[in-house]
């Protein structure tokens, strides 16, 4: 575990070194760095640590994952939660970690939204992106997040005990503890106001994203309708639908996510990474 001070917030970072090549044929995707960006409120880097991150390192990737501001073991400032602040954190973190080559961004849910913002801000630092159950920051996205965050704030302020009891009964004690922390984040910081007020993107902005993008969606998810839009707007975008899944693709189908990401990174890394693991 490491704590990186960006000058604005202290970020909890985990880094997994790439496995060393073996005499029989080395690793699957050597000489590439992947940065894993988690979702909002109840999520943290743990969702990667206990699913795909170790497999990425074993395949030869240098893995960087961190808790967003306000989440996990990172600092929780009272203010400063616009999407731009999350993008700033990523940029400064790569500087602090002395990452000089373009990285592959993997963003789950809100983490994908951060990835889109970063690819526009610093295109020279992004080799490719994989977004999982995610969408860019557009006006409909901002309206949806405003409603979601206000609902969380209201439910966790009006009758927190009843809400947590219901969550514990239907989803277990661990989820209830995560919900309690998320409720405090929404209630005690400006996150619920800042995120919907973030700068949004139009179609021309999305068309300016030149790096290759792979967008993964649960076939039964509300976000699955984003697939044709992403293919039409992003110059170099492919999409993949995972049957039988909704929003929790990362934790429900980690093997499939692993294979798709390794194949994608292998395709879009330097020539030495030609022996990529192909998705099944």
Residue 125 has pLDDT above 80, yes or no: yes
Q: Which two tokens stand for residue 100?
A: 């000089």
- The more confident residue out of 156 and 4 is 4
Q: Which residue shows structure tokens 């890394």?
A: 269
- Do the bridges between strand 10-16 and strand 61-66 make them parallel or antiparallel, or are there none, so unpaired? antiparallel
Q: What confidence tier does 25 reach under pLDDT thresholds 50, 70, 90? A: low
Q: What confidence tier does 164 reach under pLDDT thresholds 50, 70, 90? A: low
Domain ranges, ordered by start, for the chain? 2-136+199-273, 138-197
Other CB atoms within 10 A of residue 263 CB? 18
Q: Which two tokens stand for residue 205?
A: 């902005």
Q: How many helices (H) and strands (E) does the chain have?
A: 12, 8
pTM above 0.85, yes or no: yes
Other CB atoms within 10 A of residue 91 CB? 14
pLDDT at 237: 98
Other CB atoms within 10 A of residue 166 CB? 14
CATH fold of 2-136+199-273 reads Rossmann fold (3.40.50)
Q: Which two tokens stand for residue 115?
A: 């990835």
Q: What residues form DSSP beta bridges with 270?
A: none
For residues 211 and 176, what is the distance between their CA atoms, to the nearest angstrom?
Answer: 38
Residue 279 has pLDDT above 90, yes or no: no
């Amino acid at each position: 575990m490491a704590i990186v001070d960006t000058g604005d917030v202290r970020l909890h970072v985990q880094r997994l070194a790439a496995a060393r090549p073996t005499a029989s044929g080395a690793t699957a995707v050597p000489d590439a760095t992947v940065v894993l960006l988690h979702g909002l409120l109840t999520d943290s880097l743990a969702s990667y640590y206990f699913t795909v991150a170790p497999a990425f390192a074993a395949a030869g990737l240098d893995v960087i994952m961190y808790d967003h501001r306000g989440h996990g073991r990172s600092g929780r400032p009272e203010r400063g939660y616009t999407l731009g602040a999350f993008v700033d954190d990523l940029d400064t973190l790569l500087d602090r970690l002395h990452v000089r080559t373009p990285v592959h961004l993997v963003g789950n849910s809100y983490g994908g939204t951060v990835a889109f913002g970063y690819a526009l801000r610093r295109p020279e630092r992004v080799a490719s992106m994989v977004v999982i159950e995610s969408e860019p920051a557009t006006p409909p996205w901002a309206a949806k997040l405003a409603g979601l965050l206000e609902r969380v704030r209201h439910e966790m302020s009006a009758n927190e005990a009843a809400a947590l009891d219901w969550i514990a009964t239907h989803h277990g004690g661990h989820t209830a503890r995560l919900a309690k922390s998320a409720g405090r984040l929404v209630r005690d910081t400006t996150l619920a106001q800042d995120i919907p007020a973030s700068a949004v993107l139009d179609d021309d902005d999305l068309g300016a994203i030149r790096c290759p993008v792979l967008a993964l969606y649960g076939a039964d998810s509300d976000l699955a309708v984003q697939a044709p839009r992403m293919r039409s707007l992003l110059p170099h975008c492919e999409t993949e639908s995972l049957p039988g899944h909704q929003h929790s693709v990362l934790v429900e189908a980690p093997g499939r996510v692993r294979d798709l990401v390794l194949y994608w990174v292998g395709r879009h890394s330097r020539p030495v990474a030609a022996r990529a693991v192909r998705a099944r």
